[in-house]
Amino acid sequence: MCLVPGGETRKRQPMPKRGIALVLCALFSCVFAGPAQAQGYDRMAPQHFGSIATGDYQAGDNLHFSISRYGDEFLLRFAGQQEVFVLYADYGSLGGRVLKYDSGAIALQVAGWGNMTLYTDDQPGGLPVVRTGDSVPPNPAQVTLAQMQSAADDEAAHLSYARGVHVGFAADWNALGGDGGLRSQTFDAMENAARAIDRFTANAAARNVFSQRVTAVRMQTSDKPLIQMNGKTLIVTFNPRQGYLGRASSRAIAFALGKLFGVPFPN
């Protein structure tokens, strides 16, 4: 929470990056710092992790997922799920590597000799991973304006039915009508926001405070992914020029909602 001239308080909660825990509050905005060792920079210098092979993988008996390169980062997508997660690589112990969600939680650990372990909410102790073949990198879905507006209504209906949360999703429909690329990026960011709210409001305490504080969710472009409140509207921003890197995952948004509303929530 930051104090602005006139005594008005403005809350703005950014999406965490690479397990970021430090928060800087400067004048009108609150932003997360970079990794602790970077002391305030958004990311470390690009590093290459040749030991992390892309492809299709299987964890445990029947959990399938794919890993793709995305510049200096990686993309993770579980079979049968639509969300694409950006994973940030860092050095681990004994020559190993770790891949983290943008919320800071560890998704994959790669030992120095190449063995991989996947960590999930259901299996926090980790599952052994084996590579099963090559994979095709994901691409944002191409949707019409009508399809996107229908998806916004569907997400609102799902949250009402499944969580008892009543919110509407909105964006600049006029701008999206004539820009397929922007529409695709906005759709991706909106779906992540809806998944985050579903994830966050599965917790009774979180559901109670969210229902009281939020009646609408609005998607807006910005130079970085943030969430903030404007009255009872939750503003979710993203940078369409950065593709997958420019929007937050559902995990990061849910974690940021916990900080925004003062409800402890795991990352």
One-letter identity of residue 133: G
Is residue 192 a part of any domain in this protein? yes
Using the 3D structure, point to which of 133, 161, 182 is the last residue of a domain.
133
Q: What is the pLDDT of residue 5?
A: 38
Identify whether residues 164 and 121 lie together within a single domain. Answer: no
Instruction: Return the number of other C-beta atoms located less than 10 Å from residue 122's C-beta.
Output: 8
Do 92 and 84 meet the contact criterion of CB atoms below 8 Å apart?
no
Q: Are residues 149 and 94 in the same domain?
A: no
Give the model confidence (pLDDT) of 115-174 as tens digits.
899 999 999 999 999 999 999 999 999 999 999 999 999 999 999 999 999 999 999 999
**Same domain, yes or no: 228 and 255:** yes
Give me the pLDDT at residue 35, please. 33
Which pLDDT belongs to residue 95? 73
Same domain, 114 and 199: no
251 shares a domain with 172: yes
Query: Domain range holding 70?
Result: 55-133
Residue with tokens 């960590």: 119
Tokens 């402890």, residue located: 264
Residue 159 and residue 211 in one domain? yes
55: β partners = 67
Flag whether 257 is in a domain: yes
Our count of domains for the chain comes to: 3
State phi, psi for 21 to the nearest 5 degrees: -120, -20
Whether residues 152 and 217 share a domain: the answer is yes
Looking at the structure, tell me whether residues 124 and 157 fall in a common domain: no
Distances (CA, A) of 61 to 6, 57, 58, 99: 59, 11, 7, 22
If asked whether residues 69 and 123 sit together in one domain, one would say yes
- One domain, residues 92 and 192: no
The answer to whether residues 11 and 118 belong to one domain is: no
Task: Kindly report whether the global pTM for this prediction surpasses the value 0.75.
Answer: yes
Are 245 and 157 part of one and the same domain? yes
Q: Identify the domain boundary among 133, 156, 173.
A: 133
Report the pLDDT averaged over residues 245-259.
Answer: 97
Which one of 133, 164, 190 terminates a domain? 133
Residue (of 142, 146, 141, 114) closest to 128 by Cα position = 114
